[in-house]
Amino acid sequence: MTSSTLTRVSPPRTVPLQRKVRGWKAARRWVLPLAGLAVIIIFVIPYIVMLLDAFRPSSEVLATPPTFFPKTWSLQAFSQVIADPSFHNWLASSLIVAVSSTIIVILVAIPAAYFTARFKFKGRMAFLGLVVVTQMFAPTSLVVGIYREFYDLGLINTYTSLILTDAAFNLAFALWILQGFFSAIPKEIEEAAWIDGASHLGTMMRIMLPLTLPGIVTAVTFTFIAAWNEYVVALTLIQSDNLKPLTVGINSYVTQYQQNWSQMFAASLIAIVPVVILFALIEKHLIGGMTAGAVK
């Protein structure tokens, strides 16, 4: 037998043994989902309790022994809240304050963020640092000074005081969000627009704003929600019942002389609806805005 007739036999391939994953790497596959589920349950339980109590008669809410599900299911609380003229005033006040504050914040934050992102001026970093510092002060800690300032201006018990306060405390966040978006856009895009004859204002309106739409949506969403949920400043500055926002007005259902818990829970659930609708309409842009700023 010659060597040409010999068939070469390749050695068998050795299959590497897969090591068993042990310790935290093996446990995290089920520990992390369970931890996330537990966090979700903790946050959802209060809303479930509110929903169930809204379907109870007010006399059953504080009944002993308490029951998780209502013994008597009723829509009376929702019908009473919807038919309440005071609730309509509170809802209108919240919408006026939240929408007006959001518009002011966006109108001021967009040009300010564009200027700080594109122009290197003296004191730029100090200005941005000052913007960050303003986020350290909550309205609660400054409520006495805020009240005194608006008292001297004669703006107590007006929408103007709430709108200006909410806009002031949400402007810094919107400016930082939009400044990051403007900085991430290549400057060559603007230069191409300038060559075509566009002005700085035209470039910002026609080129930059569409590219920063996710950031604008993010700023609008968080500003609106912050103004919608504001409580302490509204409680301090607003005295007339028909000017109170929802966060303050719904407390009128539970006082020293009357305890309409079912109506209060029903009103609280209705107050969540505008925020849920807002998230549903802009969810796609909101997620893009929150994630796009993390990568450059």
Q: What is the pLDDT of residue 92?
A: 93
Please provide the DSSP assignment of 92-107 as one string: HHHHHHHHHHHHHHHH
- 84-292, what's its fold? MetI-like fold (1.10.3720)
Q: What is the pLDDT of residue 293?
A: 45
For the chain, domain boundaries = 28-74, 84-292
Q: What is the pLDDT of residue 32?
A: 82
Q: What is the pLDDT of residue 295?
A: 43
Q: What is the pLDDT of residue 14?
A: 54
CA distances, 49 to each of 23, 52, 275 (Å): 38, 5, 19
Q: What is the pLDDT of residue 6?
A: 47
Q: Who's near 138: CB < 8 A, 6+ residues apart?
A: 169
Q: What is the pLDDT of residue 132?
A: 75
Q: Which residues of the chain have pLDDT under 50?
A: 1, 3-6, 15, 17, 289-291, 293-296
Size (the chain), residues: 296
Q: What is the pLDDT of residue 89?
A: 93
